[in-house]
Structure formats: structure tokens, C-alpha cells
Amino acid sequence: MVQTAATLATVEGTLARLLTALFVGGAALTVIAALGGYALAARALQPIDQMTRTARRISAEDLSARLDLPATDDEVGRLAVTFDEMLGRLDESFRRERQFTANASHELRTPLAAMQVILGVVRAQPRTTPEYEAAIDDLADEAERLQTLVDRLLYLARRDAQRSDLRKPVDLTFLLADIVDSLEPLAAQKGIALTLRTPARLMIQGDSDSLARLFVNLLDNAIKYTQQGGVSVSAAAHTDGATVTVSDSGVGIAAEHLPHLFDRFYRVDAARTTRGAGLGLAIAHDIAQAHGGDIAVSSQIGQGATFTVHLLS
Ligand code: ATP
Ligand code: MG
């Protein structure tokens, strides 16, 4: 029997050191991982923090704040870009809303001020019966003007909120004949010839009340801005719908005004010798677009104007 013995001290020493190293290293690693994780998460979430701060700064009065983060193609970067785009759209729509309200108030003030002037003049001293009658006529005119304006403003405000059913069969020939009939006296009063050329039947899809409003606005302008000559309306079937043109031999429109003609409250006649709020064409344009159609204008100063409406069947 052979017995050998060796000391385990070195092995145990190594194991003990290993254990210590594992403990210390493990603890240090945990701390480093925690700190690193925290730092990384903080960095990744920093844009979100910035979004929170920006969102807190935004109010309906001031929508100009933007994140403007450097573009990165990750989830947060895309969220930031979407957030900025949304702010841009909101800003634009609030701006338009404010502009609309400002313009509307301005337009409403004019007839009201005129009414106050008429009343002030009448009440300043006792008047004769014909004077009272004249004043009442003037007041009635202003009231009518207010009525039209309020109607148009309400129409625009409602149309933004709700869309009516735009897919009912409408016979354009019948509709146009009806409108031309009702505006005939207005044209006759100014000595303007009103002619209508349509096929026997011209069916499209739409809402007849809105379409009537569209053509009344165009014809109203054609008659209003024509001093002599005529206004002609013609309609024809098109490959995918119908085309209606309203042309007049009136004052015409200078080229620089054409791009803005369909803007709300836009008027060429800055001196305001003719009455109007500049809403007729904006409404006509809205209606044409709501029908998936379009409306275009061609004109030269002194050469009359032609408005062409495309509608889908
Ligand atoms: P509203 O229709 O609200 O009573 P308006 O007629 O002035 O007022 P729009 O119908 O929107 O407003 O027309 C805008 C502007 O375009 C008018 O002020 C006018 O200067 C010009 N315009 C429109 N139609 C014609 C036309 N047929 N001939 C010449 N100018 C026109
Ligand atoms: Mg008009």
C-alpha cells in the first residue's frame, strides 16, 4: 500500500480568490449594467421628455411650438416627426379659423354700421313721411344684405362640419332651367340677355340644393359684373360626368387675381363699388370639390369671364 499526500493550499487559495473576484466583479458589473441601462434609457426617452415639455407649452393661442428633433429613423424619431406634422396642421387650421372669424366680423360690421347711420340721421330731427319711407327702404336693403351674409357664413361653417348626401341623381338640365328662370328678372332689369343651352336630359350624381347654390353664385356674379351684353350658360355630357360653363361679356378679371378668386372673402374690387363679401366663389368651389368635381376660370380684363364646372356622374 502506497499513500501520497499533497497540500491543497494553492488550490484553495485560487478558489478563494476566484470567489472574491466573482463577488466583487459581479457586484461591479451589476452596478455598471444598472447605470448603463439607466443612461441608455434616459437618452432614448429624452425626446419623449421634450415632447411632454412642448405639449405642456402648447395652447390654442400659440401653436407655433415644434420639437424640431434631429431626424432619426427609429420609433421615437418617427413619433417626433408625426407630432410636428400634426402641430403644423393644427396651427394652419386654427389660423384659418381665426382669419375666417375676423373677416366674418368685419363683413357683418359694415351693414350694421350703415343701419346705425340711417337710424341716427332719421332720429336727429322730425322727418316727413316720404323721408321715413326712404329710411325704412334703406334699412330693409341693409337687413337683406345681412341676411345673405349670415346665410353664407352659416353655410360655410356647417359645410365644414357635416357633409350632406352627395349621391342622389340630379338632372342638370332641369336644375339649370329652374335657376335661369328665377334669375331672368334680375338680368332683364340690367338689360342683359340670359341664354341657356343644354341637352334634353343630363343626369349626374349630387345634391341638388348644393348644386343650385353653386350655379346661382356663378350666375349672380356673371350678372353683377356685366354691364351690357349677355350671359350664357351651357351644359354638356362629358366622358365621366358633365361640364357646365357660365360665360359673360362683363368687366373680366385681371390675371393676378385669378389664383385667389376662390379664396374666402377675396374680392377684386377693393373700392367695393359693387356689393358682396367675396364668399360666393369660395362656396361654389367648396361644393364642386365636395362632389369630386372642379371649377376653373378663364378671363381677361374687359373681355368677360368664363367659369367651367366639371361634375362627376
Ligand atoms: P358675394 O358673392 O359673397 O356676394 P362677391 O361676388 O364679391 O361677393 P365672389 O362671388 O366670391 O364674391 O367673387 C369674388 C370676386 O371675383 C368678386 O369680388 C369679383 O371681383 C370677381 N368676380 C367673380 N365673378 C366675376 C365675373 N363673372 N366677372 C368679373 N369678376 C368676377
Ligand atoms: Mg358673388
> Minimum-distance ligand to the CA of 264?
1
CA of 277 to the centre of ligand 1 (A): 9
Residue 153 Cβ contacting ligand 1 at under 6 Å? no
CA of 62 to the centre of ligand 1 (A): 34
Residue 262 Cβ contacting ligand 1 at under 6 Å? no
Q: Which of the four pLDDT bands, split at 50, 70 and 90, describes residue 175? A: very high
Give the pLDDT confidence of 83-111 residue by residue, as tens digits: 889 989 998 888 888 888 888 888 888 88
Site to substitute for ligand 1 among 144, 215, 225, 258, most atoms within 8 A of C-beta: 225
Residue 225 Cβ contacting ligand 1 at under 6 Å? yes
pTM: 0.73
Atom in ligand 1 nearest the alpha carbon of residue 269: 20
User: Which stretch of 17-31, 46-60, 111-125 has the lowest confidence by average pLDDT?
Assistant: 46-60
Give the pLDDT confidence of 11-22 residue by residue, as tens digits: 999 999 999 999
Name the amino acid, one letter, at 262.
F
- d(Cα 172, Cα 207) in Å, to the nearest integer? 11
Give the pLDDT confidence of 176-218 residue by residue, as tens digits: 999 999 999 999 999 999 999 999 999 999 988 889 999 999 9
CA of 286 to the centre of ligand 2 (A): 14
Give the pLDDT confidence of 50-75 residue by residue, as tens digits: 888 888 888 767 788 888 878 788 88
CB–CB of 122/135 below 8 Å? yes
CA of 218 to the centre of ligand 1 (A): 8
What sign does the dihedral 280-285-286-291 (CA atoms) show? positive
Asked if pLDDT for residue 270 goes beyond 70, the answer is: no
* Domains of the chain and CATH, by start: 76-161 (1.10.287.130), 168-312 (3.30.565.10)
pLDDT computed for residue 285 by the predictor? 93
pLDDT computed for residue 138 by the predictor? 93
